[in-house]
Structures are given as C-alpha cells and as structure tokens.
Chains A and B, each alone.
Chain A
Amino acid sequence: MASVELKNIRKTYPPDVTALDDVDLVIESGEFFTLLGPSGCGKTTLLRTVAGFNLQDRGTVIVGGRAIDNVPAYRRDTGMVFQDYAVFPHMNVADNVAFGLRNRKVAKTEIRRRVDEALAMARLDGFGERLPSQLSGGQQQRVGLARAVVIRPQVLLMDEPLSNLDAKLRIELREDIRALQRALGITTIYVTHDQEEALVISDRICVMEHGVVHQVGSPWEIYRQPNTQFVAGFVGAMNFLPGRLSAGDGEAGLALGPQKLGWSGANGHSGDVLIAIRPEDVQVVSAGAATAGFALDGRVARTSFTGRDIQYMVDCGEGLTIEATVTNPSPELMSQTGEKTQLLLPAERLTLFDGPSGRRV
C-alpha cells in the first residue's frame, strides 16, 4: 500500500479551460479518499492524471514516495474501475480477471489461485466461464472490481463505478466495495458526483469545483463544517439567507431583517454575510420557543412527503423561502398548505459565509 501525493497539479485544455488549477492533495496509505463535485469540476481529470491517462501541464504525482510523472500508464501500479465497466467483451470473466496478472508474468498456478480468490471476494464464485454479455450490469462491475484488485495495485482508482447501476444495486455494491477496500487496506481514490455516496463510503472527501479544491475533510466535517458556500450548497440541502454582521462595542451582532442576535464567532468580520442552515435544523414551532435564534413567521407554501419525512417550503415574505424538514411527521402535518406557521432558526445551527468570497466566517 502506498500514500499518494499530488503537488500543484495543473491541467488546461486550450484555449480557455482550466481543468485542474494547482491541486495539492495528500492521500494517506490505506485511505478511502473521494473526489466529489459536479460534472466538469476536474475530479475525473485528476483521477486520470494519477492513472497516467492524462499528462498534467505541471505538478507532480508521487505514489509511495516515488514521482511517477514519467512512468507510462501501463507501468504505473494502479488498478482502475471504470464507469462503463470496460469489461473485455471477447474474454470470459476468469480471463478478464487474469489479464493484469498475465501482463505481470505471474506463474500459471498462482494466476489460477489469485483469480479464484478475487472472484470469491467480488462474490462472483462460479462465474469464471461466463462471457460479459451474459452478466448484468452489477455483475460486470464486480468483474471490473475483481480485475482491478487482483493485481494488488498500490492505488485503486474508481471513476464513478456505481453511476450506471440502479439505486438498490448501487447501495449493495457500495457496501461491498467499502468492505473489500477495508479488508485489503488498499489506498483508494474514488470519484463521484453523488454526495450521499461520498458521505457513506469515504474516510475523507475532497470537494472540487472548476478545477479548484474547496475543502478536504472527513464526511462529518464536509457536512457539518463546510468551508465555503459552494460546499455547503453542494453537499446536502441548505437554506441561505441574507444577513449582516456588525462589529458592536463588545460582542458582534448578527442581523436577519429587523432581528438581531449576539454573535461571538465573527472573528473580526463585519458586513454582508449569508446565513446558512440545513432544513433538518430548522424547527417548525407552534408557539415561541426558548432556544436562542431567529424566529420567523411564514405561510406554508408547499409540503412534500418523502416517506421518511416531510419537507416544508415556508414563505416568510420579502422573497424569503425557507425549507424545513420534519422527521417522524404526524398525519395532521400533511395538509397545512396555506396555513400560518412559525420557524425557529437556532443560533447554534447557523453557519455564516462571507458574501463576496463565499468563505466561512
């Protein structure tokens, strides 16, 4: 197993696309590291740079302490799992899995042993003789996975491996990938645009946009302590409300419309800010509550029932619509459209972002 260091990786596509803008990352040995971002954010480009399919304009890729920039893709010790499986259609499952071992001139008996072992790990026992066309999409991706791990690569690279599968299968294979990675302790870089998948599967997540790294952190940090407005909005749902920080005499104050709260975490900042709060942190209350926070009156504009919870869209006037999630709803909460309600935004659940820069205050 090996750590991966990416130093100042830059990749541009002339004339004017910057796919990777000086990306600097360190991935620990044995870590499950996810690159998360919307399409076009550079996550796949970065993964393919580690694989050797893209040549960066500048910067260095270091795997296990060794710079591999001049090593061609086929000599880099990486196993890759592809979005469209890329299972060789003219070879049976066993030959697919054995392909990398044959390239490495592994002895025949050893190949057989390791192929069987890999097929078992990927829950494909007994599928060795099948052709890819006889397999379902999920099974084909298991072949892709077995084929990539059987060579015991220094790094496992996965490019949206689940995005072509249906929802149930996605969750099933997701668990298997995570278990396999833990069992083998293999350093893994995983690319996805699905934030829930990233949160569930990763040790650490790197959120990217326009070739720039916004934040690297544990799933908890990414969700609970987003560094930028982009991360806050991209991972999970988030309400953004216009607010204003003013440096008072002693304590700073945070204003939302006419309401004002004492605010201790201003760090000397003042001016326009965005107040962010997750829908599940917004409390729907019938009477005034004791918790410190902003209290807003509004009218229920729309409710949507997802089964697990109810999502309220509450119109608070002045163009302000706030989403609130109520878990374990009681039946009478279902039909409140048009009714008056009161929302409480607890102070300890608010996160502030600097208006112009989008950075957390």
Chain B
Amino acid sequence: MNGVAAIRRRLAAMNVWTLVLLAALAIVFVLLINPLGNILAASFIDRKDGSFTLANYGRILGLSFYRTAFVNSVMIGFGGMVGALVLGIPLAYLTSRFHIKGRSFIATLAVLALVSPPFIGAYSWIMMLGANGWLRHMLTAVGINLPSVFGIFGILLVFTLKFYPFVFLLTASALSSVNRSLEDAGENLGCGPYRRFFKITLPLVFPAVSSGALLAFVLSIADFGTPQIIGGEFRVLSTEAYNLFTSEIGGNPGLASTVSIILISVSMVFVILQRQAVNRRNFAGNLINKPEVKTLRGGRSLVAHVICYGIVFASSIPSIAVIVMSFRKTRGPVFHPGFSLNSYERIIRDVPDVITNSFFFSISAVAMIVTLGTLVGYVLARRQSFLSGSLDSLLMVPYVVPGVVLGIGFIVAFNTGALAMTGTGLIIVLVIFIRRLPYAVRSSASILKQISNSVEEAAISLGASPARAFIKITLPLMIPGIVAGAMMAFVTAINELSSSIILYVGGTMTMPVRIYLSVLDGEFGTAAALSTILLVTTGIAVYFVFRYSSSKENAFV
C-alpha cells in the first residue's frame, strides 16, 4: 500500500467525531486552559513592571497569616475526609451486608444531603447551634455544652455531614460486588469477622473508599461558602483568595492568583497520591458469588438501625430546619412566633429576578453540558486516540480547580479583549458549563461502557453509516443515562455559589449568591425561603435521576 492511499484512508476514517473532538479541545482551551494560564501567569508577574517574579509566593510563604490559612485548609481537608470516612464506611457496611429496613430510604436521604448546597447546611447549623439556637438550648438543658459553632468545629460538622455520602455510596456499591468466595476463603483460613473485615474486605474495596475520601478532601478544601459563613475568624485558602480578589481597598489579583495556584496544587498532590495508591491495588475480578446479606436479630439489629438512621437524619436536619424556618412569621429580619408565608412574599416582591436568573442560567448551562458531554463521552469511550486521550486528561482539571479560583480566572481572562464578557449572564453560564462538563462526559462514557460495542458494529455491518448508527441505535440506549446526567448537572448548576460569587453583578445575581448575602445581612427569613426553593428544586431533580438511572444513588458520585 503506497503513501497516498494510506493518507486517503486516514481521511476517510476522519468523520464527524473528529470534528467533535477538535471542537471540544478548542472549548476546553478557551474556557479552561486560558483562564488558568492567566492565573498562573499573574502569580509570577510583578504588577508594577510586568517582569517575572517569585515575590508573590515569597509573601504568601513569609506571612504567618497565609501560612495559617494553608495549614487550616489542609486541616479541614483531612478533617472533612476523616469525618466522611467515619460516618460513610459503617453506614456502607451495615446497609450492604445486613438487612436494614428502608435501605433505599436511607440512600435517598444520603443523596439529598449530598446534593443540597453546603452553605445552606452551614447557615442552618448556625441557626440551630448558634448562641441562641434551639438545638444548643436543648443540649445545654441536658448538660451537653458544645464548643462555639463558629470556627473549625462548625466547618467540620458541615463537611462531615455533607461529604460522608460520597464514601457511603462508593463503598456500598464496592462492598456489594466483592466476590463472596474471597471472604469465605478468609474465614475458612481462620479469620474472625473483624479481622476478616480489616484484612480482606476493606483492602478489596480500598479503591472505592479512597475515591470517596479523595472527593471529600478535595471538595472540603475547595468549598468557599461554608468557611466563609460559619468559619468566623478561621481563615482558609479559598476564602483568602476571594477576599484578596474582591476586597475594595487594595484588591490584589497577583496574590489572589498565587493563593489559587497553591490551592490547586494541594488538590493535585492528593489526586496523584490517591491514583498511585489505587494503581497498586487494582483488583478487577469476576463476580461469581455476590456477598450474602445477613439478618441481624434483637439488640444487634436495633443498634445497626439506630446507627444508620442516626447518620442520615443528622445530615437531613439542616435542610428540614431551613424548610421549617422559611414558613416562620417574620417582621423585617426578625422571626416571630407562628407560621406564615411572609418570607416567600418578600422574596417574590424584592428579588424575583434572582429566581428567574438561577433557572435561566442553569437550564442554559445544562443544555450545553448535555449536548457536548454526550458527544465527547462517546468519543472518549469509543474512539480512543492520542487526541482523545489528551482531552480526557484535560477534563480531569476541573475536578481539582475550586470554583472561586476558576471565577477569578474568568475575570482575569475575559475582562477585556475579543472575549470580554464580565458582568454578563453568559460568563456565569460558561463557568458552570466548563466546571460540570467533565461530570457529564464521565457519565456518558460510563453509560456507553454498559452498551456493548458490537450493537453499534452490527448496525454498521447492516449498512447504517456511523452517524445513523449513533442516532438510531446508540443514542436511544443512552437516553435514560443522559436524562439522569442532565438532572445531576442541573442540581449542581442551580446550587453553584463559589464561582458565581466572584462573577455576579447586580443584574446577574443567582439564588445561592442572594442566600449568602442575606445570611451575611442577617436576613434569615429570606435566606430560608430561597434555600427552600433550591432544596425543593433539587429534590425534584433527584427524583428524576432515581427514575431514569439504572444504578439509582450511584449516579451521584
């Protein structure tokens, strides 16, 4: 075969998917590499003369103020992770290996805790455990004196109850697919139940446990709303980046960028460590025997149920409290005894545009995410090449970039020039789009893994062009997964705070931003009503995910 013919064949093999791949790479470059590159550059450039400098890093490392913020960030990262493990692993073990009544109810509550925005949790715990909180009064009455909810205690309380579902859901699904023969073999060779769990079962599910732990860690150090609302004087990197960037006097983009880069680096280090740890423990096996689900009796059963329901109810309390509070009577910012729709009247009167903005931005972003995510997921799953591999790696980046950081990057990159769009709704839509695109890509690719490649090849061998085979065969089979993925994207889009807080202007304010500002202003009634709208919307979306997703709660991690 000569060279010309080879090239012609190469060209014939190029098709619509190559275009999708190139378009996706272009989008990722403009919306991800470009802003992050700008931040990286800003962290190394002297603001006065534009020369290369390490002064920003020197200042951050030199000032004890930032060193403390760094240590604090790592501390809440570990704290959130440990908390998530302590709640998540027992819950996963009990529900997957023993008959627990209402298992799907437990999973549903865990999912709701997972998808409800953390800043609502933070603010709700303040209402309950603040100096005048009803829960603190109750606990004091029975002799329990908790430390102040402001500071690290509050932050870790919120993170633990927010992120344990990652560990729970991932570990439970791994525990249900451990080959039972391995555990039986362990027992047969003399392992008691506890030893068997720690020596056989836990190492086998290590990849899942560590993925959950990593998510808890990365999201803990990236979260902005929780430390900002409940942290009090406890400063962390994400809040410092925000304060440095937005402070009216002496806002310092260079330093803010430097803090951002440090924040990303910390996340990256842990992602890499986790990957290496998992790579050495890849126990892909064929599942012949499913683990036995045992029935507990008497006191043991009672204890197991109390633990399971205790965990999920504790994580549901903030949402329930907020919803109840939204129906309290208010006059101005002050709550009065009795119930009313005062707060809802106020938000409909004062901030209706905030609600419409939220829905409009989220739906726009989701439409883009689903369209591109489905196509790119297909390319990554079915057309592996060097380029698609590169795109796959690039799409890992948003997982480790906190919203605050990407928000800052967008301002720096799109403030002036051909792509100037700061202050528009579009920039808020685009930042959500690029942050959540990887999730849609991953879910689309994982649906495809369940659809045998030969189904599509059968269509092609029967004379359907690749495009027709995709539309007639593959796409219809992907629809349930796509709907579930779209709902997931919608949930994260409408609850987005950390990047919108940087990018909003008066006319493009969203519900999470308004809630945050209301909490700062002490307008708890307004915050509660808006939070309730978010929680109910989120709940409806979750219902649709449950309806359309084959793997139910696992669609969320």
- Residues of chain A in range 35-68 having any CB-CB distance to chain B below 8 Å: 51-53, 55, 58-60
Contact A83 B454 (CB under 8 A): yes
Contact B459 A78 (CB under 8 A): no
Contact A74 B13 (CB under 8 A): no
**Is B477 on the interface with A (CB-CB < 8 A)?**
yes
Chain A residue numbers with a CB within 8 Å of B466 are 72, 74
Contact B463 A74 (CB under 8 A): yes
Chain B residue numbers with a CB within 8 Å of A298 are none
Contact A151 B463 (CB under 8 A): yes
Cβ-closest chain A residue relative to B476: A90
Chain A positions 18 through 41: 1 when the CB is less than 8 Å from some CB of chain B, otherwise 0 = 000000000000000000000000
Contact A80 B455 (CB under 8 A): no
The stretch from A99-107, A257-265, A334-342 touching chain B is A99-107
Contact B5 A78 (CB under 8 A): no
The number of A-B residue pairs with CB atoms under 8 Å apart is 81
Contact B8 A86 (CB under 8 A): no
What's the least CB distance linking B449 to chain A, in Å? 14
Contact A147 B464 (CB under 8 A): no
- Residues of chain B in range 1-43 having any CB-CB distance to chain A below 8 Å: 1, 5, 8-9, 12-13
State whether A82 and B460 are in contact (beta carbons under 8 Å apart), knowing that A70-B8, A74-B466 are contacts in the complex.
no
Contact A80 B457 (CB under 8 A): yes
Contact B462 A58 (CB under 8 A): no
What's the least CB distance linking B540 to chain A, in Å? 27
A100 to B460, CA, bound (A): 9
Q: Give how many B residues have a beta carbon under 8 Å from the other chain's beta carbons.
A: 25
**Is A294 on the interface with B (CB-CB < 8 A)?**
no
Contact A74 B465 (CB under 8 A): yes
Contact A70 B462 (CB under 8 A): no
Measured as residues with beta carbon below 8 angstroms from the partner, the interface class of chain A is 20 to 34
**Is B295 on the interface with A (CB-CB < 8 A)?**
no
**Is A73 on the interface with B (CB-CB < 8 A)?**
yes
What's the least CB distance linking A9 to chain B, in Å? 11
- Residues of chain B in range 451-498 having any CB-CB distance to chain A below 8 Å: 452, 454-455, 457-466, 468-469, 472-473, 476-477
Chain A positions 98 through 124: 1 when the CB is less than 8 Å from some CB of chain B, otherwise 0 = 011001100000000000000000000
Contact A74 B9 (CB under 8 A): no
Interface centre among A76, A78, A88 (most CB of B within 10 A): A88
Chain B residue numbers with a CB within 8 Å of A194 are none
A280 to B72, CA, bound (A): 79
Chain A residue numbers with a CB within 8 Å of B465 are 72, 74
Contact B477 A100 (CB under 8 A): no
A86 to B5, CA, bound (A): 33
**Is A279 on the interface with B (CB-CB < 8 A)?**
no
Partner of B461 from A74, A83, A87 at Cβ < 8 Å: A74
Chain B positions 431 through 459: 1 when the CB is less than 8 Å from some CB of chain A, otherwise 0 = 00000000000000000000010110111
Chain B residue numbers with a CB within 8 Å of A69 are 1, 5, 9
State whether A55 and B461 are in contact (beta carbons under 8 Å apart), knowing that A74-B469, A88-B473 are contacts in the complex.
no
**Is A79 on the interface with B (CB-CB < 8 A)?**
yes
Contact B463 A82 (CB under 8 A): no
What's the least CB distance linking A23 to chain B, in Å? 15
Interface centre among B1, B455, B458, B477 (most CB of A within 10 A): B458
A55 to B14, CA, bound (A): 13
Partner of A86 from B9, B455, B463 at Cβ < 8 Å: B455
**Is A144 on the interface with B (CB-CB < 8 A)?**
yes
| Chain A residues packing against B (C-beta within 8 Å) | 51-53, 55, 58-60, 69-70, 72-76, 78-80, 82-84, 86-90, 99-100, 103-104, 144, 147-148, 151, 157
Interchain residue pairs A-B with the least CB separation, the first 10: A100-B462, A103-B463, A86-B454, A80-B461, A86-B458, A82-B454, A74-B460, A58-B1, A86-B455, A73-B460
Sample of 8 more A-B contacts, CB < 8 Å, known A88-B455, A99-B464, A99-B472:
A69-B9, A70-B9, A72-B466, A74-B468, A83-B454, A87-B458, A151-B462, A157-B461
24 A-B pairs in the complex with CB atoms less than 8 angstroms apart: A59-B1, A60-B1, A69-B1, A69-B9, A70-B8, A72-B465, A72-B466, A73-B457, A74-B460, A74-B461, A74-B463, A74-B465, A74-B466, A75-B463, A79-B462, A84-B452, A88-B473, A99-B459, A99-B464, A99-B472, A103-B462, A147-B458, A148-B462, A151-B462
